[in-house]
Every structure is written in structure tokens, then in C-alpha cells.
Structure 1
Amino acid sequence: AKTARKRGKSIVKGGLGTAARTAGLLGGILSFAVSEGIIERNPAEGVRRPADQRRTRRLNREEYRRLGQTIEELAGDETDQAILAVKLLALTGCRLGEIAKLRWSEVDRAGQCLRFTDSKEGASVRPIGKVVLDVLCEPSTDAAFVLAGVRKAEAFGGLPRAWLRIVKRARLVGVTPHTLRHSFASVGGDLGYSEPTIGAMLGHAAGSVTSRYIHHLDEVLVAATDRVSETIAAMMFEEVVQNGSAERASTEDQPDPQRAAA
């Protein structure tokens, strides 16, 4: 689209999902204007919005293994922060922003959870598996963030580009950080867990675990999260962490949906 500047143009990006969310935001603004008496009617009322397409891409067993092999091969060539970030994204189902800004003060080892002070849903408590605690080694410095930047008080800023390098090396087409979140939920479904349980693992706003007043998570929920993360770790690295020791797991082993805990 041309702009007022000579030979200027603006490039607008976004698909149907962006259009739907933008129309919804505009409708909300205009509804507020009506309630305040600024305008008499909402001109956006009745306007049909395009359907926001759901993401259905998930990693299969072979793709999980390729991702695991890639980050093992890149150890020493890629930054430690990027390698750790990919592991955490895959094994927790957290959002990219939550991992990128995760502080050591938000890691609750005793409670086996992450206590986000500011996530998409506000304050949120997120259960994590024991394998995640093994990945989260104690910091060797007094850095504030798990993914520490050059300056100790800042977070690592090279994650977006590092992610693109890693998925390209792993030959994973159409895979974004959100794909790992969706895949985490899908593995939970494969194991037979219910939607409310999976939602609680992911920290959805409807889940009671997002309350800032929660101090101790339900043991069943923690055990469910433990099993999902162990299953993913087994697919990625062909090993499962049990009682602090790594045991080799066959890649032919399939999740048993009969052991559902919810």
C-alpha cells in the first residue's frame, strides 16, 4: 500500500487469524465508545469475521528424535542458552516468551513447578517434570535469568535466530516454538489425559492452577506432567530419567493410553 511519502509504501503482514483478532479488537473499542456515549451505535456490530484457523501441526516420534539429535550435534557450536531453550520448550509446553524471560527466582524445585509472575494469563503456576529439573542445572553465576544474556541482569536475546538455525538443521518444516507447545498437549492426549488436565499442564486461564494463591500443586497433576515430559524426552534422546538415573528406552516403545491418570 502506498503511503504519503514519495515512492513510499507500507507492507502489511498477517493472515485470516490476524484479521479476525484485529476486527475483534476494533469491535471491543467501539463497544466501549458506545457505553461511554461517544458514539450512538457500534458500526462493527454484525460484521462477519474470518475464522481463526487452529494450529494442527505437531511433531511425530521421528521428528522429535531429529530435533534431539540436532541439539546434541550442535553442542559446542550453538549457544548453551539456545540448546537449553529448545529442551525447555519441548519438555514443558511453555510459550517462547515464558522460557525466554524465565527467572531463576521463578523455578520452584521443591514444588516441582515454575511460578511465573507475569505470563499471558498473569501470575501462573506451571507443573514441570523431574526431567526438566535435571535440565535446569543450578546457575553457576548470579544471573537473574535462566537464559542469561551477556549482561547478567539481561535475558538472552538471540533465541529467535537460533531457533531458525536449529529447525533448519533438523529439517523440520513448518515448525515454530508454538508447535512444541501443541505437541506437548498432543502427547498428553496420546497418553489418555483429559482436556482439563492438559489445560492445567499448559497453564490455560481456565485452569485453577493459574491462581496466584496456589502454593502446592495436586500430586496427580504433577505426576501427569512428569509422565508427558518423560515420554517426550524418551523420543528426543532415547532415554528416560527415573529416580535421578538415566535409563535407555527403546524407540519402538509406544505410549500406553491405558495408564491415564485423569
Structure 2
Amino acid sequence: AKDMKREVDLGHDPMGERQAQREAPTVQEMWERYSREHLPKKAERSQADERMMWEKIILPRFGKMKVAQITHDDVDALHRDITEIRGTPVRANRTVEVLRKAFNLAIRWKWRDDNPASGVRRNQEEKRNRYLNRTEIAALAQALNDHSQPTSANAIKLLMLTGARRGEVLGATWEMFDLENGVWTKPSAHTKQRKLHRVPLSGPAVQLLVEMKAAAMAKAEAEGTSPSPYVFPGPTGKPLTEIKRTWVSVCRRAGLGAEVPVLDAKGKPVLDRKGEPKTEFKPNVRIHDIRHSFASILVSAGASLPLIGQMLGHTQVQTTQRYAHLFDDPLRKAAETVGAFVLQTPAEQIINNENAEADNARS
């Protein structure tokens, strides 16, 4: 009572401050507002990914804490635990990025004055591009042909045939395709660069889509329903949002990966009922690597970097520049041709010139 009187004498309102503290928003409430106001602005796949981060990582750790109580050390410790215990340094970085955005919004909402996620030292990320070779592409294509789920398998086929982004393929509607002229027009709202992107389709891509559309029409007629506007509809009628299970399955069948131990949150092996360590198949290639492989095939076919950028929908030259090293082999072959000519003896040059003149005369 004396302490409270002293606070009042100093001009403070201890009862009001305690009431405000009790009513202060929690991280759970921050997530609820974030999910209502900010999350819907993102692509469906990004929404699902962030939702998983909140539900599996952030809320179990901070959910009951007040937004104003979270410190820089709290966020830094979470980042460190995800990195070291879960063994996922990139996921640790993404989690901090999500928290940083959420706390920026909390500042705008007047829930706190600073951002505890700012200044957290991120893990270094190595950009890795994996390119499928011809044998791997053939094995993957065969595995897709044999797969029991044609919708998700066909989605991966279209990724391979177009080099498009996963979200562009899964969210595609039939009205985007001019199958008669072999053109896919992606509206600006459908692309990462938020610009309309018109892409010519190859013969095999058109054939795949024609067969899929015919099958969809026949199915709808047999069921007495209207065909879905989506090229890859899910069970609920909305577009597919995830094809990871199919990807793992076809990679296993194609031999693109290996069995690895299943680890718990503390990094320890998970055991089955017999006490044996559980394993799971982990592909050694990502779905996004299909896009990189598409670019590498274009390079081998003689396409230029600007053309590759147009095909992939890049708006920044430096984005396409990552494929510049793929030109080393064709450039080296060209250089070898010049080198071989320069180092010829005069007699060899005369003979080659005479042969070239004879070829020109015959043509």
C-alpha cells in the first residue's frame, strides 16, 4: 500500500498501468491480426509456408508472451535454436524475416515502439543451382508417366516443359492458354514480377494441355457438372497448392535422392515401434531446380541470356546472369576452333582454305 501511495504521489497510476499490462496484446493476438490483414496479400504457397512457421515454431515459443515483452535476445535465441537444434539455417532466417515484418506492423499498430527482430545476425546462405542431366530428366519423366496421381504429376510435367514457377503452374486457368496458337499469357496478378508475361509453348506442352483439357471435359460431362476453370484443380475445386508428396514419390522412383534419418526437434533420431531409427526419402533435387534445368537446356540449344530471361519472365538482367557460367562450354568450343586455326601450319591453312573453297563451289 505504501508503495502504491508513493507511486500516486509521484504522479503515476499504478492501477491503470497494471490494467494496461493485463490488456496488452500477446504474440498470439499479433499473429491473428497479421493473418487477417497482411497474410492474404501473399501468394497461397507463401501463406501456407508462413502459417506453418507461426504454428510450429513462433507461437509455441512466444504465443502467450506480450508483444511488448519480446526482446532482441529472445528472437536471437529462437534463430539460434532453429539453426542448431533443427539444423535448418535457411528456415531460421525466414522465421526472423517473418517476425521482423510482424513487429513492424505491431509498431504501426502502436503495440510497441521498437522491433526486436531487427539486427539479428542471419545465417549465411549459399545459393545453389542444381541442374538435371539428360539421364535424370528421362528418369523423372518416366516416373511421372507411371505415377498414380495424374493431376499433380501433370503439373510437374508442365513445369519441366515450360520452366515456369510452381505458383504460376498450380494457379493456371484454362482461359490463360491459347492452345490453337500455342501461347500461355500469364496475367500480372499471377506472376512474381507483377507484369503480364506471354510465353510460347512447345509442341509437347500443347499436346499435354490438349489431352488434359479433353479429359477434364469428359469427366465433367460424365459427372453432369461444369468443368473446373483451373488446369490443376484440387479435391475441393480450388487449385492445387502443394505437390511435394508427388515430387518426393517420383524422385524416389527416379533414384534422385536417398533415405535419411528422421530427427526430432532436438536433433535426435526418431525410433519406430521396434526401436529402429526411422528414415525418410530426401530428394537431392528441388522442384525449383526444374526451372534452372530448363534454362540450362536453353543454353545448350544456343539461346542467349536475354532470350532465356524473356522465357523465364525475368525483369532484372542480373537474375538471368546466374546462368552465364553455363555458356562456358560452348564458348570454350568456339575458342578451341579459333585456337586450332591459329596454330595450324601454313600448309594446313592452305589445304583447309582449298577445301572450304571447294565446298562453297559445290553449294
TM-score range, shorter chain: 0.5 to 0.7
Q: Write the distance in 2 (CA, Å) between the matches of 1:170 and 1:118.
A: 31
Q: Does the 8 Å CA contact 2:100/2:115 hold for their aligned counterparts?
A: no
For residues 65-113 of structure 1, give each alpha carbon's deviation from its aligned partner in whole angstroms, at most 9, with x where no partner exists.
11122223x1xx5122122112101111112222112111222333612
Deviation at 1:51, TM superposition (A): 3.4
Q: Could you say which residue in structure 2 is the equivalent of 1:133?
A: 206
Q: Say which of 124, 131, 134 aligns to 2:196.
A: 124
Contact 2:182-2:201 within 8 A present in 1 as well = no
Give the counterpart letter for 2:248 in structure 1: L
Q: Which residue of 1 aligns with 2:231?
A: 146
Asked if structure 1 preserves the Cα contact closer than 8 Å seen for 2:163 and 2:290, the reply is: yes
Give 5+ residue unaligned stretches, structure 1: 208-255
Q: Aligned partner of 2:178: which letter?
A: D
Change (3 A) 1:33 1:65: same
Which amino acid in 1 is paired with 2:235? V
Q: In structure 2, what is the Cα distance between the partners aligned to 1:179 and 1:91? A: 13
- Separation in 2 of the partners of 1:206 and 1:91? 23
- Unpaired segments of 5 or more residues in structure 2? 1-56, 64-77, 221-226, 258-283, 318-329, 334-363
Comparing both chains, which one has the higher relative contact order based on Cα–Cα distances under 8 Å and sequence gaps of 6 or more? Answer: 1
In structure 1, the residue matched to 2:287 is 177
In structure 1, the partner of 2:11 is none
2:283 pairs with 1:198: no
- Structure 1 segment 248-259 matched on structure 2, within 5 A: none
Alignment of 1:68 onto 2:141:
yes
Secondary structure of the corresponding residue to residue 189 of structure 1: helix
Q: 1:49 to 1:181 in 2, by over 3 A?
A: same
Q: Which has the higher helix share?
A: 2
Q: Assess if the C-alpha contact under 8 Å between 2:182 and 2:200 holds in 1.
A: no
**TM-score normalized with structure 2 length:** 0.45
RMSD: 4.0
Distance change >3 Å, CA 81–CA 14, structure 1 → 2: farther
1:26-45 aligned at under 5 Å gives the runs 44=118
Q: Which has the larger radius of gyration?
A: 2
Q: Using the alignment, how far apart are the partners of 2:233 and 2:115 within structure 1?
A: 50
Q: Contact 2:90–2:125 (CA<8 Å) still a contact in 1?
A: yes
1:136 deviation in Å? 0.6
Q: Distance in 2 between matches of 1:160 and 1:124?
A: 27
Residue in 1 that maps onto 2:149: 79
User: TM-score, length-normalised on structure 1?
Assistant: 0.60
| Pairs within 5 Å for 1:227-246 | none
Letter in 1 for 2:128: R
1:103 maps onto 2:178 in alignment:
no
- Distance change in 2, residues 1:80/1:88 (3 Å): same
Match of 2:190, SS?
A: strand
Q: Count residues with an aligned counterpart.
A: 202
Does the C-alpha gap of structure 1 residues 15 and 43 become closer, same or farther in structure 2, counting only changes over 3 Å?
A: closer
Aligned partners of 1:20 and 1:4: how far apart in 2?
Answer: 17
Cα distance change of structure 1 residues 97 and 69 upon mapping to structure 2, 3 Å threshold: same
